[in-house]
Amino acid sequence: MPSLKIFRIEFDRADAVYIPGECVSGFVIIDLAKEKLAEELKLSAKGEANVSWDEESSSTDCNGNSTTTTWTYRANEKYFELTISLLEKSEDDGKVHIPAGLSRYPFCIQLPCDLPCSFEHHVGHVRYTIKAVIVRSWRFNHECKAAYTVITIYDLNIRREQCIGIDDEVNQSFSCLCCVSDGSINVHIKLPMTGFVPGQWIEAILDLRHNATITELQKICVKLQQSVEFRADAPFGKKKKDKATVATVQKTTPFDKHAIALRLFIPPIPPSDLQFCDIIDLKYILRIVLHSKKMYRKIVKEYPILIGTIPLRFIPSAPAASSSSDVFPSTSKREDVTPESNIVPSPSTPSLNDFVDTPPSYEESLSHRVSCIRDPKDSIYVHGVNEPFAPKYPVFKYFE
């Protein structure tokens, strides 16, 4: 019967969510059937980003022989790594004596301030882990590992100019092969703002200007898409892009009124940009597709959306109607921002009266779950590495 019955890491917070600059604390819990001798009982903590993907390339020589080569592109960013001892060695034999029964060894790790938000994807991740090791040079080590979530503050209130609403006019005429008019679509698209947090609703208002438009339209689709760019530096520089839909809503004919409001719920997702990470970039796009009843005819409009961790307290003023190409904001990965306390909202700015001013809950992201947290250097026998993990993101409460 093995003497090690329990070996696990327990965080002091049930949700294991922390922000940069905080202390990650908890206990390493060991339950032994009998006393165990070891060279050291240590704990290591690290935060890093990794990207890795394979691509195949084919070439043909002068004899017509084809060769396929597989390239593995990768990159790594390490944000911090440290190791501490959890139990002092005995002065008599220089060994660590771990007593029989249940023992709890406390730890506290100070996080650096400039850390990117936790992020999981099959191509790359930003991950924070803690590993405890019972070191035994004469036999295999005992190891256990756990991951936790780091939420980087992304305050929409200090990015108000990037959260201004959309007021866009869409006017598209169709024609047949003989250049004869074959219908038209005229739609006015409005979004009160373009900065949101998980738990909030994106409301797209479409004003169908003419009865002809109502007759012409077959379906309206609204999607919130996540666009990720991964950057590798080995064996040489390479980029890979991935786009996924995180929320969608649609409405089909008949359209019984001119003004249509489509509401899209924002699930737990990471904030925009992944600040302080230089090998993964994250953007969000609101994609509105107007499908005509005529086959293969549709109009696609895309607008940039910011996802934050602190909601807007006041709605920014929307500009006059313009084309969608005029509303894409420029963002910086490491921007200098003004503290929220320096922002003085205009008294005439309407408040977000549907916002419930309570602390957010932290919920797992269903679209950012991995089946295990095992690194290439980890053995399959490390306690905890084969458990699934999903970062938890703040979800705010809004009245529907």
Domains and CATH numbers, the chain: 4-55+69-155+361-395 (2.60.40.640), 156-307 (2.60.40.640)
70 SS3 class? strand
Q: Can you give the pTM of this predicted structure?
A: 0.85
pLDDT band of 252, cuts 50, 70, 90:
confident
Asked whether residue 347 carries a pLDDT value surpassing 90, the answer given is no
The confidence score (pLDDT) of residue 228 equals 97
Helix residue ranges per DSSP H, 153-247:
211-216
Six token digits for residue 286: 């609101």
In this structure, are residues 267 and 246 in contact, taking their beta carbons and an 8 Å threshold? yes
* Residue 298 parent element (H or E): strand 298-307
Residue whose C-alpha is closest to residue 187's, from 212, 165, 207:
207
The confidence score (pLDDT) of residue 179 equals 53
Determine how many CB atoms are found less than 10 A away from the CB of residue 252: 11
Q: What is the mean pLDDT of the chain?
A: 86
By mean pLDDT, which of 70-79, 135-144, 159-168, 321-330 is the weakest? Answer: 321-330
The confidence score (pLDDT) of residue 110 equals 97
* Residue 127 parent element (H or E): strand 124-135
In this structure, are residues 290 and 299 in contact, taking their beta carbons and an 8 Å threshold? yes
Six token digits for residue 221: 């689709």
Residue whose C-alpha is closest to residue 34's, from 96, 103, 104, 98:
98
Would you give the end-to-end CA distance of the chain in angstroms? 56
Give residue 384's Cα distance to chain centre.
23
Partners of 359 in the β-ladder: none
For residues 346 and 351, give the distance between their C-alpha atoms in angstroms, rounded to a whole number.
10
86-95 mean pLDDT? 89
For residues 389 and 128, give the distance between their C-alpha atoms in angstroms, rounded to a whole number.
11
The confidence score (pLDDT) of residue 324 equals 38
Sheet architecture: strand order including 101-110:
4-11, 23-32, 101-110
For residues 143 and 129, give the distance between their C-alpha atoms in angstroms, rounded to a whole number.
13
Residue whose C-alpha is closest to residue 45's, from 113, 112, 105, 101:
112
More confident residue, 360 or 329: 360
Q: Check residue 274 and give left, alpha or beta (phi > 0: left; psi -120 to 50: alpha).
A: left
The confidence score (pLDDT) of residue 296 equals 66
pLDDT band of 259, cuts 50, 70, 90:
confident
212 SS3 class? helix
Residue whose C-alpha is closest to residue 312's, from 270, 282, 357:
357
Asked whether residue 320 carries a pLDDT value surpassing 70, the answer given is no
By mean pLDDT, which of 59-73, 216-230, 241-255, 372-386 is the weakest? Answer: 59-73
For residues 207 and 192, give the distance between their C-alpha atoms in angstroms, rounded to a whole number.
14
The confidence score (pLDDT) of residue 213 equals 61
191-211 mean pLDDT? 89
Residue whose C-alpha is closest to residue 389's, from 127, 175, 130, 177:
127
Asked whether residue 262 carries a pLDDT value surpassing 90, the answer given is yes
The confidence score (pLDDT) of residue 2 equals 74
* Residue 173 parent element (H or E): strand 164-175
Give the tens place of pLDDT for each residue, 138-193.
788 999 999 999 999 999 999 999 999 999 998 877 655 555 455 677 889 999 99
Residue whose C-alpha is closest to residue 76's, from 376, 384, 364, 382:
376
